[in-house]
Structure 1
């Protein structure tokens, strides 16, 4: 029996938020349409954060409205607090994401509070979302290193992931935010977290700063993970992680998974087309570095 791997496409949110160009709503909608046409069923549509801090994510409500009533695809949006949740609910969001960190310093830089304070903020958000029938996904950043603290204790990664799951997140994505992890470290991190959170409720999210993202994913697949975050064209990085490069490219992930015999439902040629479209819109020449 062929095993399935679900790819969570983060290009329209995590990808675009760290690009210099600010794409208009119409372009972001077309980008998402192309990703849907490629077979992706979970696509981050944007975030309800301050447009002053992240202008690339302005008008996410308008983006969501363009897909109102669309079946067969989930379009999660990132919300940092109750204000963001209220805006997401008003826009018709059916899934949200909350963003925690395993690094105290990164938590303060990214969401302006400590790890403990972040959970005080998350609790009412998750409670309200679930009461409204809205699914909640959790992120843990800096699981393999922090730009401000360096190495992050594994026990803290496990604790944050466990607390997000206990809070009510149906899935917890483990993020190597600055892309410094190597396969053995990635494997050990996932194995430790999986002792407290079911593997079926875990995802991995690798940035490709050291060109180790695909190798790290392979190691985590061997451990049993079956959900992978990626970004078409390798777009994005992190505005609060100096030196971090883009996310692992969706087309590279699909190539790996196809070669390993996994089923994704994603057409790599169509993903390449979506990546070309986004890169061209961003003024990057329109052709990702990956071969078709």
Structure 2
């Protein structure tokens, strides 16, 4: 069985991650890949990092600790915003030592939003792919695409996720006690730890059909169900993922695992469970 590496989306503030201690915690937990959230807005290109920031991250993460950096961003179906996105990424990649870029298309890459912005979603997606191709061949970076299982880009008819430009799909197969509206999710429900096996299997097969490697994104928050341990809630999705041999298992997100919220609530148990699961694979 192919062993995956482990990673985390880095959503901590730029100020917090500008220290050797931060990246020591990253390595100590067993992570290999850091997917930096590069922009701070769903509706505009608004870079979170200066070029000086990225040079510092490169020094601490890439040069001194051999961590793989991925640049994650939220594309918007608007011509001018996509152009600004491309120009910003072009400069960032050249200074940061990134190995890959990753559009998270779950937010605004939808037909409804494209219409509101005076465009159509097909042309917006094709334009995004053109920019990704330019970045890929100019900087020799891997192209990843991430979204959740219910998004159009997680279906057979996907335009971006299935493109030959894309090297890897990253599927956010999250199971948490509460959904994004705060509603309770039952342990044995469709979106509980066991129920997500349906999505895991379908998305692995979809990536294989397209000839893509794939990552599974795992929820690293809100993992306490009545009558069950946090470790149990973390282990079930992990075990399901391992059956399908992903190249990576990536947690959302760093704030709870190594950053500002690591001591809050059930996060210490989540961290302990993740550490144990990583060690079981090494």
TM-score (norm 2): 0.63
For 1:43, what is the secondary structure of its paired residue?
A: strand
Call closer, same or farther: CA 1:249–1:46 in 2, change over 3 Å.
farther
Is 1:195 matched with 2:185?
Answer: no
Aligned to 1:262: 281
CA distance in 1, matches of 2:69, 2:236: 28
Aligned to 1:166: 163
For 1:234, what is the secondary structure of its paired residue?
A: helix
The CA deviation at 1:8 is: 1.3
Aligned to 2:33: 42
Is 1:101 matched with 2:106?
Answer: yes
Aligned to 2:261: none
CA distance in 2, matches of 1:84, 1:218: 38
Call closer, same or farther: CA 1:73–1:210 in 2, change over 3 Å.
closer
Aligned length: 230
Q: 1:89-145: per-residue Cα shift (whole Å, max 9, x none)? A: 343443211111299769949xx887645523421221111112122221113x2xx
Call closer, same or farther: CA 1:62–1:220 in 2, change over 3 Å.
same
CA distance in 1, matches of 2:223, 2:123: 32
For 1:75, what is the secondary structure of its paired residue?
A: strand
Q: 1:210-246: per-residue Cα shift (whole Å, max 9, x none)? A: 644542222222343352112456359xxxxxxxx99
For structure 2, the residue ranges without an aligned partner over 5 or more in a row are 76-84, 180-190, 225-232, 259-265
Q: 1:127-184: per-residue Cα shift (whole Å, max 9, x none)? A: 111112122221113x2xxxxxxxx37x862337674242422221111468452234
CA distance in 1, matches of 2:23, 2:42: 20
1:83-102 mapped onto 2 (5 Å cutoff)? 83-94=87-98, 95-101=100-106
For structure 1, the residue ranges without an aligned partner over 5 or more in a row are 17-21, 144-151, 237-244, 264-292
TM-score (norm 1): 0.61
Aligned to 1:185: 195
Contact 2:234 2:273 in 1 (8 A): no
Larger Rg computed on CA atoms: 2
For 1:139, what is the secondary structure of its paired residue?
A: strand
Contact 1:175 1:205 in 2 (8 A): yes
Contact 2:173 2:199 in 1 (8 A): no
